[in-house]
Structure 1
Amino acid sequence: MDKQSSYEDLSDRARHLLRVLIDRYVRDGQPVGSRTLSRESGLSLSPATIRNVMSDLEELGYIGAPHTSAGRIPTTKGYRFFVDTLVSFRSPSRGEVRELQSRLGEGAESETRLVESASNVLSRLTHMAGVVTIPKQALGSLKQIEFLPLSDQRVLAILVVNETQVQNRILQVDRPYTADELKKVSNYLNQQFAGQTLIRVREKILSEMRQTRESMNRMMSEAINMAQALFAAAEREEGAGYYLAGETNLMDFAELSDVEKLRELFEAFNRKRDILHLLDRAMVSADLQIFIGGESGYHILDDCSVVVSPYSVDEDVVGVLGVIGPTRMAYERVIPIVDITARLLGSALKSLD
């Protein structure tokens, strides 16, 4: 379905006035009256005619009236119509692109530095909050897996990725294992999977787990089960975090400056759960997404918009990045910045491989 077909059939005049109203409100944050629209619209219309059009837009739910003003402001529906059908995107300037490339280049020695740099530059360029999830360990090649026995039916798993990255995790297993048994498990997994990307290793492990147990001997079955436990533990850790920068920028927007509202918003940032759930929804999409106001499904974000895009390495989505700000954001500028940052971060991560 065409995006425009889901909206009422607005006249060209109504669309133009809605766009002018949103542009003006985004610029200065003040409700927009008919006289202002008459002056800035470039149309030869009287304030009375413009008031009639505004009345129609309000009745259809595209604009609303704050209690303290005779002017009008966009609603979530108005912003959604604007983003879907009216906005003219503005590509980042050469200077902004150079800064993105420079900032991401500075962090090129590690994934952590790259992600942190990406969140910082998103915040700096948009003057809002920049968020980047920690990349899932889909990129990188498996060099070696080792398992060492610990007490209380625990095993230390050592994962070596890309020659130099070493990750240690403790697994709870269903029985005690000897060092010799774990050595056989390690040897089998290294023979089967060394040199392959982690995402391919996970896919093969899941595929082998679906095979009938009769087709595997005990050692093979235990090796696959232990590898699955290792990757499940890794996914739990990866899903636990993101880098957030510039959240204090949100205090500069009057509509978000209420102390109680800010407290709840910052608590949500610290709690991470709700924000991560929202970002996870973007992980399943190959496209940039925009959640405006209540579209996020989280009350704490009712006055916010979240512009997010997945970032990929070799066509595998490994994380999400974006910007959190007020619904009154410059979408025509923020959306292209998020889009190009996602592409540059994916390229920078690939260069680590």
Structure 2
Amino acid sequence: MLTERQRMILNAIVDDYIRSAEPVGSRSISKRGDVGYSPATIRNEMADLEELGFLEQPHTSAGRIPSHKGYRYYVDHIAPGNLLEPAELDTMRTFFAEKLNAMEQVIQQSAMILSHMTNYTSILLGPEVFHTSLRHFQLLSINETTAVAIIVTSSGQVENKTVKIPQGVSVSEMERVVNLLNSKLINVPLYKLKSRLYSEISQELERHTSHYEELLLVLDSVLDNDNEQRVYLSGTTNMLTQPEFKDVDKVKNILDLLEETPTLMKMMSPTLGGEGIHVRIGTENNHEAFANCSLITATYSLEGEALGTIGILGPTRMEYARVMNILGILSRDLTTLLSHWYK
């Protein structure tokens, strides 16, 4: 447990480092009006904070920077409050007051607003990813070599895909496949269809059909529901403006991960975080590419059910209080908007 003086000094160091991206020394902290301690006293406390693991000292500097543990303490003890300018609040409120007809447009615009207001990268998952499920599957033969796969979703959307029928597959085998999918995958969310195909359906196919591998490839292509269109990114190049990411290889790893939709969906899934604001700092993200990043997320819901997630990705030297404040407002406004639309 930190003393009140240690907490004050740690907060001041984090605040200064967030603003400057430069190691913070005791003299600069002593000049702050809200601290009120001598440089010697602050140096002693900084040494103790470093020994406790809350601060780190770069080899090339006499100053200190926050460690992941220091950021975690800072985030966990942020005092709630409104840190936005009136003009920024008006921008968000005006946007949600407009009567937009398409949810997709709202999601896309929300992503742009977030990245613009924070200068970080925004990630949003549309509600279809978690809320829409499979209602019915059908496979209709056109001729001996071609069929049309029809997928009907719980939202009433119908998707058609033309597929090649593997040589030697009989009509009765196709019927067994259709019956199998309808019995196993009805009411399964769309984003889980591919994983269920390999975890459950593949074993059944192997037992009941003589063309197991060929049919598995066909179903793989049919159940590929183009999830990338349901993940919205904005401000990905903002990473390039951060001093921490001058290393091209480091940035490339981050940008590559942002293109891995299944990984993003897993990291952003509402079922993993629940309600409220959630902050994952550095290695808490459980992915090497994000080891020097922080990901802050919030969910939006309809009638108590989480429909999607909004998130901000930036360096660990992030304006946590401001970003958390923005996400809290945006998630509440999205929830309000959805409740009006779906009354």
Q: Deviations over 1:277-332 (max 9, x none)?
A: 3113x433322211111110111111111001122122222221111111111111
Amino acid at match of 2:171: P
Q: Secondary structure at the match of 1:284?
A: helix
Equivalent residue number for residue 318 of structure 1: 307
1:176 paired with 2:165, answer no
Please name the residue that 1:206 is paired with: none
User: Could you tell me which residue of structure 1 aligns to residue 152 of structure 2?
Assistant: 159
The separation in 2 between residues aligned to 1:91 and 1:175, in whole angstroms, is 65
The amino acid of 2:103's aligned partner reads E
Larger deviation, residues 134-143 vs 250-259: 134-143
1:313 corresponds to which letter in structure 2? L
2:4 is matched with 12
Secondary structure, counterpart of 2:335 in structure 1: helix
CA distance in 1, matches of 2:164, 2:298: 36
TM-score (norm 2): 0.74
What residue identity is the alignment partner of 2:273? S
Q: In 2 relative to 1, CA 168–18 (structure 1 residues): closer, same or farther, beyond 3 Å?
A: same
Secondary structure of 1:53 counterpart = helix
What per-residue deviation string (whole Å, max 9, x for no partner) do you get for residues 177-228 of structure 1?
Answer: 8xxx9xxx9xxxxxxx9xxx998xx9xxxxxxxxxxxxxxxxxxxxxxxxxx
1:170 Cα deviation after fit: 6.4
> Structure 1 stretch 269-278 or stretch 168-177: which is displaced more?
168-177
Report the CA distance between 1:94 and its aligned residue.
3.9
> Within 5 A, what are the aligned runs for 1:1-353?
9-40=1-32, 42-104=34-96, 108-136=100-128, 148-151=140-143, 154-157=147-150, 159=152, 166-168=158-160, 176=171, 233=223, 237-238=226-227, 241-280=230-269, 282-287=270-275, 288-353=277-342
Runs of 5+ consecutive residues of structure 2 not aligned to the other structure: 180-185, 193-218
Change (3 A) 1:161 1:101: farther
Cα pair distance change 1:160/1:63, threshold 3 Å = closer
Q: Distance in 1 between matches of 2:328 and 2:170?
A: 48
1: CA distance between counterparts of 2:83 and 2:159? 40
Q: Supply the distance in 2 between the matched residues of 1:100 and 1:144 (Cα, whole angstroms).
A: 39
Q: Partners of 2:32 and 2:161 in 1: how far apart?
A: 62
Quick one: structure 1 residues 72 and 160, their matched pair in 2 at CA, closer, same or farther if it must change by over 3 Å?
closer
In the TM superposition, what is the alpha-carbon distance from 1:148 to its structure 2 partner? 4.9
Contact 2:228 2:261 survives alignment (8 Å): no
For 1:270 and 1:141, how far apart are their aligned partners in 2? 24
Is 1:310–1:321's contact at 8 Å kept on the other side of the alignment? yes
| Alpha-carbon distance change, 83 to 137 in structure 1, aligned in 2, over 3 angstroms | closer
Which moves more between the two structures, 96-105 or 326-335?
Answer: 96-105
1:109 match: secondary structure: coil
Computed over aligned residues only, the root mean square deviation of the Cα atoms, in angstroms, reads: 3.8
Partners of 1:115 and 1:340 lie apart in 2 by: 15
Deviation sequence 1:106-143 (CA, Å, 0-9, x none): 68322322221111111011111111013226668999
Q: Secondary structure at the match of 2:87?
A: helix
TM superposition shift of 1:101 = 3.8
Inter-CA distance 271–285: structure 2 relative to 1 (3 Å threshold) = closer
Distance 1:305 1:294 in 2: 9
Count of residues paired in the alignment:
303
The residue identity in structure 2 corresponding to 1:47 is: P
One-letter amino acid of the counterpart of residue 274, structure 2: A
Alignment CA distance shift 1:278-1:140 (3 Å): closer
Aligned CA distance change for structure 1 residues 350 and 86 (closer, same or farther; 3 Å): closer
Aligned to 1:108, what secondary structure does the other structure show? coil
Judge conservation of contact 1:139–1:313 (CA < 8 Å) in 2. Answer: no
Q: CA deviation at 1:238?
A: 4.0
- CA–CA separation in structure 1 for the residues paired with 2:135 and 2:337: 21
Distance in 1, matches of 2:146 and 2:329, equals 48
Q: Cα–Cα, structure 1 residues 175 and 57, in superposed 2: closer, same or farther, change >3 Å?
A: farther
Q: Flag structure 1 segments of 5+ consecutive residues without an equivalent.
A: 1-8, 186-192, 203-228
- Aligned CA distance change for structure 1 residues 97 and 139 (closer, same or farther; 3 Å): farther
Distance 2:51 2:283 in 1: 20
SS of 2:259's equivalent in the other structure is: helix
- Kindly state the Cα deviation for residue 349 of structure 1 after the two structures are TM-superposed: 3.9
Q: Give the structure, 1 or 2, with the largest relative contact order (CA under 8 Å, sep 6 or more).
A: 1
